[in-house]
Chain A
Amino acid sequence: MIDTQSRNLALWNWVVAFAAFLVACFLGFYQVVERSGLFDFLESAKVYFASVSTHGVLMAYVLTTFFIMGFGYLTATSSLKRPLWQPGLAWSGFFVSLIGTVLAAIPLLTDKASVLYTFYPPIQASALFYIGAALLVVGSWFWCAIMVVMAVQWRRENSGKGMPLAMYATVANALLWLWTSAGVAMEVVFQLIPWALGWNDTLDPGLARTLFAWTLHPIVYFWLIPAYIALYCFVPKEAGGYLFSEEMAKFAFLGLLVFSLPIGFHHLYMDPEQGAGWKLLHGIGTFLVAVPTLVTGFTVLASLEIAGRLGGGRGLFGWIGNLPWRNPVVLAAILALLMLILGGFGGIVNASYALNAMVHNTAWVPGHFHLIFAGTTVILYFAIAYHLWPKITGKKLVSNTLALTQLWTWFVGMTLLSTPWHVLGLLGQPRRISSVTYNSLLTLAWQPYELFMIMGGAVLLGSAVLFGVILWKTWRNTEIETDLEIAYAEPIHPPESLPAWAESLKAWNLVILGLMLISFGWPIAQFFFLKTFESLPWGY
């Protein structure tokens, strides 16, 4: 049962999410072409950095936040089988986030906020940009509140029962997001906005970077959890089988929630303002949080194998051919897992305390995170959209073959784009440059790779446009979709009861609080004890 309010909320949240995504794909293509240096007339650092800033904000903040809000309303109502709590509040959240997005877009598109999506001070953007970004986040907090309240209400009425997996993961994500966004919210509210409005003359970039690092890694799990929900809750059923283990799935989500928070310093390995021991602590945490992802890989592969064997597949690998490769959800899951394995390997290199120096801030890094974000995460967002768009619009998916083509082209494009990026990173090319001006023998070796990247970008743009066309045509389709129910995968064994702490919101939050105090307490407090020197704002 999905009520009309949730369907409409999902629809409009996703319209914003995917519109932002499409614009960002055009910008992304422009960037690879500009950066290649092959077209003189395109060369413009000013346009390039405005474009990079907008691309990053649209992809990382707008696409994800709106997609996750829309998906959450659907998961909550369909898995808990109850109507949405306070739809009015949900719409308010939608509009607050939308207004924030528009407020941030104005300075971004008019060259008043070319500070990249990581906005590292003391380069200063227009105050409107910071205020818009803050509102986007505030709007998403409405969503978090609704998810938590619905879970608490359900639990009160169903004491002793385990929460449905999809909702368990969604609540974990809502809590994760509240904790995660607190870091950047403090930076924006206490440092950036007063400083951009001229109330404060100076700020401490070291503190700003530390607060941003608080947000910068767990935010990735905020984006990733909906993709994991699809892997656990839709993929096994669509493949024709069962979920291998529901208990381990819950532990994986719990692990992501608790351990993804205190690890942000692996983004600060090369920074001077934090001590080596704190970086090491966060580094160890980073490797621990790989465990839930390794468990996820195992569970999903096992579920796929069960499905393949139920479909008659034999032998060690025979089951692979027996999977329903023509089901978009299954195809997306397989392609996502491939990219997750490669992207995860790159992440291990980045997180390696000593190895990081070779690749820090080089092209390797966008290569890596495009595999994880644009590869794994976004390809599963596509799959979720193909799966649920008919259920929220009430229209049949216009063409399964087009959907499969779109997924394959996205995979091919991402491979063409991210492979040269990794190589360029190892050859030392910095990220975040608009052209190569270094008059050096070492940098001549970078040239041939740019061509592959342009090809990759072109394929990706075509794929993105195709995605938009499929959704648009489906929305306008005259054929009616009759099956509006969302079906979740059944576990192979009925879930046995989990220990009480594994189902307790309070326990999770207390553990996180403790870990955050240990890992961020002194590293933030030190700025109030050290004799620090603050920075004046700079233009760009």
Chain B
Amino acid sequence: MHIDPLEKKWLYIALGMVALFLGSIFISLAVGIKPPSNVETIDPARLHLSEEFAEDNLGVHIQPDGRITVIMVAGRYGFFPRHITVPADTPITFRWASIDVLHGVHMPMTNMSTMVVPGYVAEVTTTFPKPGDYPMLCNEYCGLGHDYMWSKVTVVARQTWEKQHPKGGES
């Protein structure tokens, strides 16, 4: 074996870089940033009969403890409901299920992103810092109408939201 001293130094530097990257991942884990990974299955053919993803139940819900959950269905070519309004600076839990093929959800300029795989429930919790109108895009090719698959999310300032939704009210 022959390893040049210079090469040995470089190896340490390379390993140090890797350790740094991994370190930053563990730090973000510690503050709760992790990918959407709730391995939870659901029958895509019977979504309308499930309680959670039945048509009447879709949309924004304010839980008794004040947490906000959003239940949505992805199907060619839209996320349903087509327009939702949520508050800024508030953790919001989205849950999606697909009625047909693979879709992906993303809102530009935010870290709200997940794949929606038929047969599985996708769940993401995120906080939107900036009020505004965001398109909720499908980012996985799902058929020829894929370009047209988008819905709208209005993020309103927290005060505005609280005025519209006095405590405990259902949206």
Contacts and interface: CB of A to CB of B under 8 A. Distances in A.
Interface in B15-69: 15, 17-18, 21-22, 24-25, 28-29, 33-45
Given A357-B113, A533-B42, A540-B144, A274 B22 contact: no
A433 interface: yes
Nearest to B120: A272
A440 B34 contact: no
A433 B18 contact: no
B39 A294 contact: no
A195 to B, nearest CB: 14
Contacts of A538: 100-101, 143
A353 B146 CA distance: 27
Contacts of B144: 45-46, 49, 114, 540
Contacts, number: 217
A531 B121 CA distance: 13
Contact of A205 (B39, B119, B145): B119
Contacts of A5: none
A360 B43 contact: no
A525 interface: no
B66 to A, nearest CB: 25
A496 B113 CA distance: 51
A496 B121 contact: no
Contact of A270 (B2, B43, B113): B113
B150 interface: yes
A275 B37 contact: yes
Interface stretch (B82-90, B132-140, B163-171): B132-140
A269 B133 CA distance: 27
Contact of A352 (B21, B106, B109, B120): B21
Contacts of A530: 39, 41
Interface string A502-540: 000000000000000000000000100011111110111
A245 B28 contact: no
A274 B37 contact: yes
Interface in A191-239: 204-206, 209
A428 B108 contact: yes
B12 to A, nearest CB: 11
B14 A272 contact: no
Given A361-B139, A433-B147, A271 B108 contact: no
A537 B119 CA distance: 13
Nearest to A292: B14
A275 B134 CA distance: 29
B71 interface: no
A38 to B, nearest CB: 16
A431 B35 contact: no
B92 interface: no
Interface string A290-325: 110011001100100000000000000000000000
Interface of A: 45-46, 49, 114, 116, 120-123, 204-206, 209, 244-245, 247-248, 268-276, 279-280, 283-284, 287-288, 290-291, 294-295, 298-299, 302, 348, 352-354, 356-358, 360-362, 427-443, 493, 495-499, 526, 530-536, 538-540
Question: Shortest 6 CB-CB distances between A and B: which pairs?
Answer: A428-B108, A430-B139, A276-B37, A361-B139, A294-B14, A354-B28
10 contacts: A46-B144, A123-B142, A244-B4, A275-B39, A362-B106, A362-B139, A442-B134, A526-B39, A532-B119, A535-B118
